[in-house]
A = this chain, B = another copy of it.
């Protein structure tokens, strides 16, 4: 990761710094609140970043964006928050077929389960939903006698625009 010197500016930010994150907490924030989990300023920032991200972010990406809103936030907090959300099943962890290295990417776990379809050339990632996928999961659950709680399907190849 880029060793951002970060200049160590006065991190006496404290709550005095007014940021309009508070209002209108998203799904994740509501979920945590409903479970009686403490909502710190840092967590609110991170939840907001996750919920508004257009593309999949890894820990470093989350940190960079979160810092734009709350400069004092640290990498450790990012990891701890990711861990919290994973434990509560509120986010999914992907690696996108290692297309962009060996880090992990995160996305808010929406109501619909989807497949990630990535182009190995241009790197574009598309989300794909399918009844067939649901059926496949049912088949697995039945045939393997397993109660499924997580699923992850990633597909790589060459998209129409990147065909040889």
Interface size class of A (residues with CB under 8 A): 35 or more
Contact in complex: A156, B163 (CB < 8 Å)? no
Report the minimum CB–CB distance from A124 to chain B (whole Å): 10
Report the minimum CB–CB distance from A150 to chain B (whole Å): 4
Known: A132-B135, A135-B132, A151-B153. A117 touches B140 (CB 8 A): yes
Which stretch (A9-17, A42-50, A63-71, A95-103) binds chain B?
A95-103
User: A163 — nearest CB in chain B belongs to which residue?
Assistant: B147
Contact in complex: B95, A95 (CB < 8 Å)? yes
A151 CB contacts on chain B under 8 angstroms? 153-156
Among A86, A143, A152, find the residue whose CB has the most chain B CB atoms closer than 10 A: A152
Proximity string of chain A (144-162) to chain B, C-beta cutoff 8 Å, 1 when within and 0 when not? 1111111111111111100
A160 CB contacts on chain B under 8 angstroms? 145-146
Report the minimum CB–CB distance from A38 to chain B (whole Å): 18
Q: CB within 8 A of A144: which of B117, B139, B149?
A: B117
